[in-house]
């Protein structure tokens, strides 16, 4: 019998990266397989079928790849949320906590119009800090968050609960134990 591959079968685990004790979930192997990548994009879209979505936010950096593909499939605009200093136009910024420190992300101040329905997309949900920062930026511009979609959830780090406590619907394609 032929085993049907699932999204998690395409994800490589790399021990002790970027720090000892961390099991890094590498989605570049998913991106590099045409069938796996297509499956992931289709599954990321599925929960939002039939809903109005005006913009997709992709979170730096792997969220750009996923978010761009999702936006293309939905025929809507794509908005990159980038690390501080990487966008060329007027921006608004949001500070947030990472698993290993602090960071700042930015979005162009004209990227989202008031009332637009926004979907957040990224590869991995850990503590939820980056996703919450993206949500805060979109809301500050008047966007309304439809939901957040991720390839991987790391439930032990609490990101899903953090976003759900904000009233955000969260969808993840797979989950892994650990960090």
Which residue shows structure tokens 């608004």? 92
Question: Residue 56 forms beta bridges with which residues?
Answer: 78, 119
Question: Residue 95 forms beta bridges with which residues?
Answer: 104
* Catalytic positions: 62, 99
Residue 118: name the closest of 77, 88, 158 by CA.
Answer: 77
Tokens of 61: 């950096």
Separation between Cα atoms, residue 31 and residue 101, nearest integer Å: 28
């Amino acid at each position: 019998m032929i085993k049907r591959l699932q999204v998690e079968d395409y994800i490589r685990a790399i021990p002790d990266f970027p720090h000892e004790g961390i099991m890094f979930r590498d989605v570049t192997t998913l991106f590099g397989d045409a069938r796996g990548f297509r499956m992931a994009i289709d599954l990321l879209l599925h929960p939002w079928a039939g809903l109005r979505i005006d913009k997709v936010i992709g979170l730096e950096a792997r969220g750009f790849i996923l978010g761009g593909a999702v936006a293309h499939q939905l025929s809507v605009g794509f908005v990159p949320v980038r690390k501080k200093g990487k966008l060329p136009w007027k921006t608004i910024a949001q500070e947030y906590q990472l698993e290993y420190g602090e960071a700042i992300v930015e979005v162009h101040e004209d990227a989202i119009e008031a009332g637009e329905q926004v979907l957040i997309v990224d590869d991995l949900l850990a503590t939820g800090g980056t996703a919450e920062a993206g949500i805060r930026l979109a809301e500050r511009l008047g966007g309304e968050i439809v939901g957040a979609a991720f390839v991987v959830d790391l439930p032990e780090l609490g990101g899903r609960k953090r976003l759900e406590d904000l009233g955000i619907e969260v969808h993840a394609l797979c989950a892994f134990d650990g960090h």
